[in-house]
Structure 1
Amino acid sequence: MSLLYEGKAKRIFSTDEDGVLRVEYKDEVTAGNGAKKDHIDGKGRLNNQITSIIFEYLKEHGIQSHFIEQTSETEQLVRSVEIIPLEVVVRNIAAGSITRRLGFDKGHEFETPLVEFFYKNDDLNDPLITDDHVKLLNIANEEEIAKLKKMALEINKALVEMLDSINLRLVDFKIEFGRTKDGDILLADEISPDTCRIWEKDSDTNFDKDVYREDRGSIIDTYQTFLNKLEELK
């Protein structure tokens, strides 16, 4: 097995099986596009286990992803896909950058979920882009853009229902998609507290990376508590 790619949070390896990759989650945490970063023992284990549970849940609800199976505390097998260079963000409640960009009060609930595209380009600091920009950059055509939005909203609906059952609110989340060799579009990357904002219904306590961004407690304790809640669903 050879290392194919190493990012901020994961390493990707080839395997002996064609079209199958091994993902290893790292004990690294970053914020602000890498401006803040730390090594924290146990974080990779938590993100791998959380993502595995969520992807299994989504599969049971008809949403296909590149995820195949969890193989260890920090590793999983996934289908090989070509990642589409977009961060697809779904917002149910105002928090983070949208409060600064558009002046919404933190906690403002949107009448309908908002879908935004951000161009995955570290040199440009992952800018917000429009549908026309997506087409201009040859990232996706009009039909694919519509499909990405539809899939994002289906994932949002499933996640909202899942978290509601354990007394949590899904504020917003970031997902990525990839294309198979056949051109099918699948959910890819991860879904974890690194990529979501999750608030407790009764107290608005965070169960996400804002705890690290804002120095408000232990990220390990926060993620472990969230994992424990997810395991109640199993």
Structure 2
Amino acid sequence: MAREQGRSWTEIGRALGVTKQTAWARLARVVAEGKTKIVEEVGNGEVLVRSKDDITAGDGAKHDVIDGKAAASTRTTGNIFRLLERHGIPTHFVNGVDDVTFRAREVEMIPLELVARRYATASFKDRFPDLVDGALLDEVVFEVFEKDDANHDPLLEFDFDASVLRRYVPNDKAAEAIGPVARAGDFISEEPLGESRYADVSPELIARLRSRTVSTFEVIENAWKQQGGVYIDVKIECGFDRESGELLVADVIDSDSGRLRFGEIDMSKQSYRDGTATLPEIKRKFDEVAALTDRFV
């Protein structure tokens, strides 16, 4: 009940005469925990999403902890979700709770990573090496990746005409892990769509996800443009509200979710992936991005 009322674990621990860590370990109803966040059920069709100070790359192969990163990520996510809601894009965000936690609708997550990109860089450039890095694409490109860290999140192709699901090597790092002859963009496998984990995915759902992802990117892209930034791409996740069935943009959208540049300066997590910035420098970038998103709302 205290959690449903928005009380912190510090307050609950104090009332019980224990530390906040002990109170959380005894009483939290954790429904999901990932590399950078914990989702806790609180009832009434809602959850609490609590960010961690952990930062990872390479499907978790690279891992560090940056004090204060969780607060910056939560601040950014809250501001971006409010921005999307104001532009008519429904999200699972309800309200902020504390520096590292926000309240959200409980959703049935769709196990897909949805990407929209304006420029040819990163994994897209890996798969199309003839393109100039950073080249402006003719239109916003929509791509779908499988949520599967163990297999490096393959690029997916839904061939509804043939009722087949195909998987492809998503990027150079995945190719290196597969073997010396593998290349980004190579075919991995295919299976009957009806026998896959995505048997319930329809052309209509993919069309809706495309529209939702591209609209999300364009709203955030325009907001950053007004601040002098260039938004390169975004990765989001969606799910269905467990009570209403509404399709919602879910999870988080922070400095880990898209590439952002101001001139030649990268302000996203890319510098952590590349190893081109120290942890204090990355923390400063996260803080600066969070402060700038205050202007979105």
TM-score range, shorter chain: over 0.9
Aligned to 2:282: 219
CA distance in 1, matches of 2:68, 2:29: 24
Q: Write the deviation string for residues 61-104 of structure 1: whole angstroms up to 9, x where unpaired.
A: 11110110111000000100011010001110111111111112
**1:222 maps to amino acid:** K
How far 1:44 moved relative to its partner?
Answer: 0.6
Q: Tell me whether 1:20 sits opposite 2:46 in the alignment.
A: yes
Query: Is contact 1:84–1:139 with CA below 8 Å preserved after alignment?
Result: no
Matched residue, 2:57:
31
Tell me the residue number matched to 2:177.
Answer: none
Determine helix, strand or coil for the equivalent of 2:239: strand
Q: Secondary structure at the match of 1:70?
A: strand
Q: How many residues align?
A: 231
**Cα pair 2:80 2:296 within 8 Å, conserved:** no
State how far apart, in whole Å, the 1-side matches of 2:285 and 2:276 are.
10
Deviation at 1:5, TM superposition (A): 1.4
Measured after TM superposition, the shift of residue 123 of structure 1 is: 2.3
Instruction: Name the residue aligned to 2:99.
Output: 73
Q: Which residue of 2 aligns with 1:229?
A: 292
Mapped contact 2:83–2:296 kept (Cα < 8 A): no
Which TM-score applies when normalising by structure 1? Answer: 0.94
Q: Is 1:143–2:204 an aligned residue pair?
A: yes
> Any conservation in 2 of the 1:118–1:129 contact (CA below 8 Å)?
yes
Match of 1:10 in 2: 37
- Could you tell me how far 1:228 is from its partner in structure 2? 2.0
- Which portions of structure 1, spanning 4 or more consecutive aligned residues, are displaced by more than 3 angstroms? none
Moved more, 182-191 or 38-47: 182-191
- Corresponding residue of 1:209: 269
Are the aligned partners of 1:88 and 1:176 in contact in 2 as well (CA < 8 Å)? yes
Task: Return the alpha-carbon distance in structure 2 between the equivalents of residues 75 and 142 of structure 1.
Answer: 35
* Structure 2 residue 188 is matched with structure 1 residue 128: no
Cα distance per residue 1:145-204 (max 9 Å; x no partner): 11000111111221111111100111011000001234321100111110100111xx22
What is the match of residue 95 of structure 1?
121
Q: What residue number does 1:169 align with?
A: 230
Gaps of 5+ in 1: none
Q: Which 10-residue stretch deviates more, 150-159 or 177-186?
A: 177-186
Q: Please say if 1:119 is aligned against 2:182.
A: no
Cα deviations across residues 107-144 of structure 1 (Å, max 9, x unaligned)? 10001000000011122221000122289132511111
Superposition map of 1:57-72 within 5 A: 57-72=83-98
User: Quick one: distance in 2 between partners of 1:139 and 1:172?
Assistant: 27
**Do 2:38 and 2:52's aligned partners in 1 also have CA atoms closer than 8 Å?**
yes
Helix, strand or coil at the partner of 1:41: coil
Task: Indicate the larger mover: 59-68 or 139-148.
Answer: 139-148
Q: 2:189 matched to which residue of 1? A: none
Percent of aligned pairs sharing the same letter = 30
Partner amino acid, structure 1, of 2:67: D
Measure the CA separation in 2 of the matches of 1:140 and 1:233. 34
Among 243, 252, 257, the alignment partner of 1:195 is 257
The equivalent position to 1:156 in structure 2, one of 217, 220, 233, is 217
**Structure-2 separation of matches of 1:110 and 1:139:** 31
Paired with 2:109 and 2:283, the residues of 1 have a C-alpha distance of 28
Cα 1:109/1:183, change in 2 over 3 Å = same
Q: Is the 8 A contact 2:119 2:135 kept in 1?
A: yes
- For 2:98, what is the secondary structure of its paired residue? coil
Larger Rg: 2
Contact 2:112/2:237 (8 A) holds in 1? yes
